[in-house]
Structure 1
Amino acid sequence: MEAIECFSAPQKGSDLGNRYRHGIDPWSEARVRRNDREKIVILRNVIKKNRYVDSIFLMLLANRLKSLEGIDRISAMMGAEGNKGILEESGLLDQAGREAAPNDLIIAILAESDEVVDRAVSEVDDALDQKDSGRSEDDYSPKSLDSAKNGKTNLIFCSLPGPYVRWEAKKALDAGINCMIFSDNVPVETELELKELAKEKKLIVMGPDCGTAIINGTALGFANVVSRGRIGIVGASGTGIQEVTVQLHHLGEGISHAIGTGGRDLTEKIGGISMLSGIEMLENDPATELLLLISKPPAPRIEKMILDRMAKSKKPAVICFIGGKTEEAEKRGLPAARTLEEAARLAIATLLKKKFEPKNFDMSPTEAFAAAAAESLKLAPGARYLRGLYSGGTLADEALVLLEKFLPFHSNLSHGQKLSDNAVSQGNTIIDLGDDEFTVGVPHPMIDYTNRMERLLQEAEDPEVAVILFDVVIGYGSHLNPTEPLIPAILAARERSKRHLSFVATICGTNEDPQNLEKTREALEEIGVIVMPSNAQAARLAAMIASRGKIDFMNSEKNCHAEKL
């Protein structure tokens, strides 16, 4: 695969859809009373005319500044109509915000005084100046798609409001440029049209709603710093790609490229167009020696079509369709994994032509049972439920797939028993807090931990909760210091519960990530959190603790059992 240069399209502002909203806190000269606080706050909109800034930067900036003393809420977003609609629906859009153009930056704040507002504005200005000054003379930052057509660019990174995506992506494809569409809220008809056009031109559209890719070592969207290597990935899951690339890194292997497709690509409507294009690209890439496909279960006809294509591949391949059956792949002679960690291990074994030995824990089964038993003995007599609070949708899905065969689970995912109210857990619950219903008007929980910490405290007040399981996804785009909000919340939860609460975590990341895996793990372990090497291992151990040993995961998934619960 040839080298790819990246261009982030600035037209019409940036709207990453519900998963990537920045917040809903505009500024206004009006004064409003906050009933929950019983005090007066200043509401104001400040507009930066024709000032495009990428959405991930704005989300991280807003998350950092909200800790300023006197700030109630703060956000920064482009003046696209969709963004302004969210502000208007919340009753927080002032006249200045209403008049903002799509290319204008809206800085939004609720604060205790005008002085706090002014201080926040100053902080924003400093951050924007620092971002500008950080560019080197060699950095290429075109102001439009047309100016990016320099004969070298062959990929655009598109984060526009959904209604604008079709126009800009089509222009890029017509110019022979591949597209990664970070935006969501793009109609499925538009996705199909763009992907069919890309196929015709022997290009690829990654997305819409494609949050993760790594091309020639360059991380796009939410991704981790991982080693280069011989394994090429095509995936319809952002956190699925992150978990697998991280596990490969820890096991001493690396990736050539990780190509995202967007979550709808393997539906009947889209037909796997981008996955098939990605497969072809990696087959023709001399740096790729093995292909690894990652997704939730595709539509049945699409699954068979993809597997038939892989059975004819000139390179070895491994399949990981989380929650799907492995029989279809195996009867075509394709190695298939049940978990993301297993996918990484199976890929390496296949690449090295070694026998694959599945296992449920890095530690021995005896050690795992002893660790779970020791933690179970600390639980209060009536504590029996497991609550999984996830920011990564595929990680939540993987945990539910692993555990629902042993325990009844409620969830907001596509399987498991439905919750009567997704804001309130019932019995054993695994919840995806990155789902659209939890992120309207607020950043994704990988960036802003506020909603998850509130849910954590809520779970702690339930005397029947034994274990709280959670993920920490670090890397580019994620919270720069996740232990800063996590540790106080965990300590407060233990204090509020007045009993022993077991916390089991998984960290998706590497020591090379900005947040540093080892530093994050040590900080959590210091307050008694059990940190496991993978999401699958964390889910298994959490279930063993909550069930007080009635679930016994032996060396392989096929050799595990549960007593009658």
Structure 2
Amino acid sequence: MLYTVIKKNLYKDSVNLMLLTNQLSTRSDLNQISVMMGTPANKDIFNDAGLYTEDLEAASPNDLCIVMDVDNKNVKVEILAEIDDYLKNQVSQSKKNIIPQARTWDTAMKKLPNANLAVISISGEYVSEETEKALDQGLNVFIFSDNVDIEDEVRLKQKARERGLIVMGPDCGTGIFGDIPIAFANVVEQGNIGVVGASGTGIQEITSIISRNGAGLTHAIGTGGRDLSSEVGAITTIESLSLLARDPNTEVLVYVSKPPAPEVRHSVVERFTGLGKPVVAVFMGEKPGKDHDNVQYTGTLEQAAFKAVELAKQTSSDENLNDMTPEIHKVRRQPNQRHLRGYYCGGTLALETAMLLRETYGLEDDGNHSNGVMFYHGGSEIIDLGDDAYTKNRPHPMIDPTLRLEKMREAARDPDTAIVLLDNVIGYGGHDDMGGVFAQAIKEEKRKAENQGRAVVFIASVTGTNADPQGYEEQVEKLVEAGAIVKRSNAAASHLAIKIMQTIETNLTQDKEKTAITTDRTPADELISEKPRIINIGLQNFAVTVHEQNGDVIQFNWSPVAGGNRRLATLLGNLK
């Protein structure tokens, strides 16, 4: 039976509510449950899940909605008590936090009058309005949220450009300004390399490899994946490249993204050649172009990182992408074990592996990556589980390993599977111990396979550094002890997987005008010449990260104006 409980005017961020829903869903006495805010989009999700009730009609976007399917009223009471305890604990943790708090823009700006960056991670339908307010306050904006109309993205980025500011995102997962990581980011060494990218995990992989190999970063600026579309026209990409070109501390630039729209690509490459600094560029999913002017192209993230280190240190790289283990593992396998299955939390890492597989076996990319399927052929597959198809009402797999564990276990138990390939992206914003979670599962699945007279090879890479909260070496050690082969990069892990697949006979088929860079300083230059001073709107964990790195931050405890009533909010706005 369906039960609905609505807690009025109790705004909570979506990620914590998703984690709560997942926690409750493990109960054997519960058929189904969902805990979300009462936004129109969330009501559609309730409906799609078969949990919609008439009681939800009256819920506003500022109301917390609980719908559960249970057979016993006593279980309902227990679950509501568990939810109350969870929410009280959230409040208690918030009160313990010494980060300054604010509930309005006026208060936030008074508490941090020299703020220069707003980090926004609220429901997508409210992002445009709050971004407008941030820009009007003279702040650069980092938008972690997704589900923002592309028309709004274009308008906001154009407005920012007119004011000498930048808007990073929407759906921007990673940023590093000096020693301050933003959202999903790693603690890296400081140095003379600057990174711009439309790929969160691509930036993380490159910056981590750079940091682990004796060089360091000035800044890493994410742009959001749609920035390279024909509609947006690379506004943030071009402004960010120009920003780092003006930075005296940045001597080498790295750029990473999926291939841009053709007309946008020309503008981006033209900007490369006018930067006056060496540029290493990697367009994931396509073969590297021919080097020209000050631009060098690479095919993988690791190659880009090593090339940047070489330029930054002005030394030759001892890079060896195919650093295989001394012996390709002799697998006690059944004749039908011929498939490779890869389940990723990093979309760009999944794309990189898929690209290397297609290159090896002479396959073309049809460009259809629906449901996160980056590669599928003859039973082998590479899937990005961070794709929107899997994160609807579910936390990103960098935060919650549940779906990836299910997929990994399912693949390991399939008698046709020879290799399971995994990434592990650590750092701020991610799970506290993803390596430990997967290590336990790998041990169990290896033992089950051995009892059936076969073996499954687990190959992994870890994206991160020893300075990250989870610790790079610690994560590697846990996976190795569990029996996984851990390589130094996703590219190296992919090369090893391909080499092993080849040994077990798979069925896989086999002159430009430079654009001058203005030297005029803009408000965005403060982001790279000084520490960012942040107003964090949404996920408090992002503010905690900044605070732990000794950054200035105000937590803006945002909730929808007028309880989410659009008409009333408009009237109130007109009265100002």
Cα drift, residue 281 of structure 1 = 1.6
Of 297, 311, 321, the residue aligned with 1:360 is 321
Kindly report which structure 2 residues correspond to 1:60-459, keeping only aligned pairs within 5 A, or say none: 60=19, 76-94=35-53, 97-106=56-65, 113-114=75-76, 116-136=78-98, 139-150=99-110, 151-327=113-289, 330-361=291-322, 363=323, 368=324, 370-372=326-328, 375-407=329-361, 414=367, 426-459=378-411
Alignment correspondent of 2:438: 486
Query: Is 86-95 or 300-309 further displaced after alignment?
Result: 86-95
Cα drift, residue 218 of structure 1 = 2.2
What secondary structure is seen at the aligned counterpart in 2 of 1:371? coil
What secondary structure is seen at the aligned counterpart in 2 of 1:223? coil
- Structure-2 change in CA distance of 1:87 and 1:415 (3 Å): closer
Gaps of at least 5 residues in structure 2 are 511-576
Structure richer in helix, relative to its length: 2
Alignment deviations for residues 272-319 of structure 1 (CA, whole Å, 9 cap, x no partner) = 100111112212223322221111111222222212212121333221
Alignment deviations for residues 129-176 of structure 1 (CA, whole Å, 9 cap, x no partner) = 33222321xx33321334433432222112233332222212222332
Which residue identity does 1:518 align to in structure 2?
A: E
- Percent identity over paired residues: 38
Contact 1:184 1:208 in 2 (8 A): yes
- Structure-2 change in CA distance of 1:438 and 1:550 (3 Å): same
Contact 2:344 2:384 in 1 (8 A): yes
Query: Is 530-539 or 215-224 further displaced after alignment?
Result: 215-224
CA distance in 1, matches of 2:508, 2:390: 35
1:526 aligns with 2:499: no
Contact 2:376 2:382 in 1 (8 A): no
Cα drift, residue 541 of structure 1 = 0.7
Query: Is 456-465 or 172-181 further displaced after alignment?
Result: 456-465
- Structure-2 change in CA distance of 1:488 and 1:74 (3 Å): farther
CA distance in 1, matches of 2:34, 2:194: 37
1:462 aligns with 2:414: yes
Cα drift, residue 85 of structure 1 = 2.1
Which residue identity does 1:400 align to in structure 2?
A: A
Gaps of at least 5 residues in structure 1 are 1-30, 33-42, 552-561
Alignment deviations for residues 313-358 of structure 1 (CA, whole Å, 9 cap, x no partner) = 1333221221234325x12331222111111111111112223454
1:542 aligns with 2:502: no
C-alpha RMSD of the superposition: 3.2
What secondary structure is seen at the aligned counterpart in 1 of 2:194? strand
CA distance in 1, matches of 2:66, 2:487: 40
Contact 1:145 1:168 in 2 (8 A): no
- Structure-2 change in CA distance of 1:287 and 1:58 (3 Å): farther
Query: Is 121-130 or 470-479 further displaced after alignment?
Result: 121-130
Contact 1:308 1:332 in 2 (8 A): no
Aligned length: 502
Contact 1:471 1:507 in 2 (8 A): yes
CA distance in 2, matches of 1:124, 1:472: 28
Which residue identity does 1:307 align to in structure 2?
A: V
What secondary structure is seen at the aligned counterpart in 1 of 2:343? strand
Contact 1:267 1:302 in 2 (8 A): yes
CA distance in 2, matches of 1:203, 1:233: 18
Query: Is 444-453 or 480-489 further displaced after alignment?
Result: 480-489
TM-score, normalised with respect to structure 2: 0.79
Cα drift, residue 50 of structure 1 = 3.5
CA distance in 2, matches of 1:75, 1:219: 32
- Structure-2 change in CA distance of 1:424 and 1:324 (3 Å): closer
Task: Between the two structures, name the one with larger relative contact order (CA 8 Å, sep ≥ 6).
Answer: 2
- Structure-2 change in CA distance of 1:215 and 1:539 (3 Å): same
Alignment deviations for residues 80-108 of structure 1 (CA, whole Å, 9 cap, x no partner) = 22123212321224556543332334466
What secondary structure is seen at the aligned counterpart in 1 of 2:195? strand
Contact 1:212 1:223 in 2 (8 A): yes
CA distance in 2, matches of 1:482, 1:359: 28
Contact 2:459 2:487 in 1 (8 A): yes
